[in-house]
Amino acid sequence: MKRTWILGFLLTALNAAVHAQAPGESEQRPVPAAPALPSYRLDPQSLTISGVSSGAYMAVQMQVAFSSIFKGAASVAGGVYGCAEADAGRAQDECTVHPEKIRVADQVQNARAFAAHGLIDPTSNLARHQVYLFSSPKDSIIKAENSEKLAEFYQAFNIAGVQHDSTLESAHGFPTLDQGAPCTRGLLPWLLDCGFDTAGKILEKMYGPLKARGTADPSRLRPFSQMDFGTESTPLFSNGWVYVPEACERGATCRLHVALHGCQMNPNWIQDKFARLAGYNEWAETNQIVVLYPQSAKLGTVNPYSCWDWFGFTGPDYANKKGAQMRALMGMINRIQGL
């Protein structure tokens, strides 16, 4: 089975986006050494996760594999759990531009088999989860029907709390209120200026009514070393970020949300822009939500664009509890909760 990230539609789209940027946009800047990830007083029942593109696939993988500890997940421009089946070719065909080929019943059966063998938590946990989906009819990289397939997957596990926003005509990426590239053009930093508050919609779906969006304090977005949780072969970038609201810093009991970037959205490409500009921090500050921003990394020819592993470049266990990046993310979650 070939795992190399083969040249094709997705590479063409990503390369075109890189060359469309202003000079220096995708250049990696030196990142100073960061301290260890600290722990905070966090409600263990509050854990949620979201992601965009490859991060959306990874968020769903984490939700399904560790369903006993998560209360919800959000997928922005993503698709169904285990879609790629550790096949890069399938990832660039069925799971991106030809979702009509996907048989959701196969992914449901695979998840149930994984649970039966203890590779993921019992799928019965999923019924209590909150779910937010975003897809765009104009997304040419991961077609909107992929999100419909994911919604069908959730229905098989009796998840009633699914919200799906699917009418905004945006390019591939993460829509924001006022940050990023033009809404209808898929360009670095893959944040899209759409007048649409995706982060706010995610957090309100995860936690219910929230206090009004506030003002983020840039000094509260702090780097931490990821080297305690893996290596360059995991792969992880040297540093991640965590946003800690003032109340959480003072010792209040807070909630925890994990936000995962997509391909070409780690510091190799856009520095800290996803963590700084996606829109989560403004809601976090007024609602006592700590936001953890892990960072994937490049890995030779199998992952040149710093994607999260949603197609098996780290091995066949990529979507279950044994997966290298899955274990790394759980290590961060446990550390920040003081476990």
By annotation, the residues acting in catalysis are 53, 139, 172
- Using an 8 Å Cβ cutoff, are 112 and 124 in contact? no
State the helix-helix crossing angle for 280-287 and 198-207, rounded to 10 degrees: 40
Enter the tokens of residue 66: 């560790």
d(CA 138, CA 77): 11
d(CA 262, CA 281): 18
Strand 72-76: give its sheet, edge to edge.
Answer: 161-165, 130-134, 72-76, 48-52, 255-260, 289-293, 239-243, 221-225
Give residues with Cβ within 8 angstroms of 232, minimum separation 6: 297, 299
- Neighbouring CB atoms inside 10 A of 68's CB total 10
One-letter amino acid of 31 = V
d(CA 57, CA 107): 13
* Eight-class DSSP state of 223: E
One-letter amino acid of 117 = H
Give residues with Cβ within 8 angstroms of 5, minimum separation 6: 11, 88, 301, 302, 303, 304, 305, 313
d(CA 287, CA 299): 37
Enclosing H/E stretch for 14: helix 9-19
Annotate 152-170 with DSSP letters as a single string.
Answer: HHHHHTT--EEEEE-----
